[in-house]
Amino acid sequence: MLLAEKVKQKAHELGFQKIGFARAEYLEEEAEKLNKWLSKGFHAGMAWMAREPEKRCDPRLLFPPVKTIISVAMNYYTPYEHNEAQNQGKISRYAWGEDYHNLLRNRLNDLLEFIKTLDPEAEGKICVDTSPILEKAWAVKAGLGWIGKHSNLITKDYGSWVFLGEILINVEIQDETKIEPDHCGSCRACIDACPTGAIVEPYVVNSNLCISYATIESRDPEISEEVADRMQKWLYGCDICQEVCPWNRFQKPSAEEAFKPRYGTTIDLDEIMALGPRDYQLKFQGSPMKRAKLEGLKRNARAIMRKSKD
């Protein structure tokens, strides 16, 4: 308990709003859900999701000496609105600022080094989004929040505007973790608001219909008409299911300067279409938006411009 309290205090000092601990084990229930989701093809073109799904559900296959999963959440909400002007493409809130992967990874590394000062035998593996681990499931087990019907983690304190990260560590850290129950109740706000019907049932998202998938992860040369007709000017990502969530009335402005908009909350579509490779590299260096690549951003801009013209 003393170790847990010291780690919590340090995590808060490093800028993490929430932290919890869970015993490393095989996630049997989550494995069944993942395999069912994959069998329906809901992962769309994300082939890596289907590779070694057992590793995603068992952290011991990812880091054999692991005994505890340390889960953290960092609030990234900043109180700005989208520019609804003509010919502007909207950007998902998470990508307004600097690349959160680097920020969280550096802070988690500092936390791991602190733990090593308390226990010289400590070893750990840091995970931020790109590792094959079910981040949201571990956040739930660590008591950070619950998974909403839109499939995002929701916290009572900050809503769903949080980044997640983990440290898989070979130390047993015991804490009185209280699992947060599901507080979605009968609410259907996210399901009803999704313009493409991507939330096919509560807690299940079909990526083939998801605007975020289409504009970020998809490598198809063009966006399907089924999605393109309902993009609502989203150039990169989509926040609709989070914007309508009643729990996000508890959102609080983040203290992290890095999460404030670098170049506004939208981008001029003509500017995107005119970008060459060098200008693209300079403009989006250090931004999460590089994930879509230049070809992807231009594809997204074309889809929005076609819809506006229609």
Whether the predicted pLDDT of 1 surpasses 70? no
Q: What is the pLDDT of residue 130?
A: 84
Q: What is the pLDDT of residue 84?
A: 87
Residue 282: CB atoms within 10 Å: 9
Q: What is the pLDDT of residue 64?
A: 98
The domain spans of the chain are 2-78+96-169, 189-309
280-291 residue pLDDT tens = 999 999 999 999
Whether the predicted pLDDT of 310 surpasses 80? no
User: Mean pLDDT for the chain?
Assistant: 96
Q: Which residues are catalytic?
A: 129
Q: What is the pLDDT of residue 308?
A: 83
124-142 residue pLDDT tens = 999 999 899 999 999 999 9
Q: Which of 109, 31, 118, 29 is nearest to 70 (CA)?
A: 109
pTM: 0.96
Whether the predicted pLDDT of 144 surpasses 80? yes
**Which CATH architecture is the domain 2-78+96-169 placed in?**
3-Layer(aba) Sandwich (3.40)
Confidence of residue 181 (pLDDT cuts 50, 70, 90): very high
Alpha carbon distance 96, 264 (integer Å): 7
**Average pLDDT for 175-185:** 94
218-248 residue pLDDT tens = 999 999 999 999 999 999 999 999 999 999 9
Q: What is the pLDDT of residue 216?
A: 98
Measure the CA angle with vertex 285, ends 158 and 11; round to 5°: 35
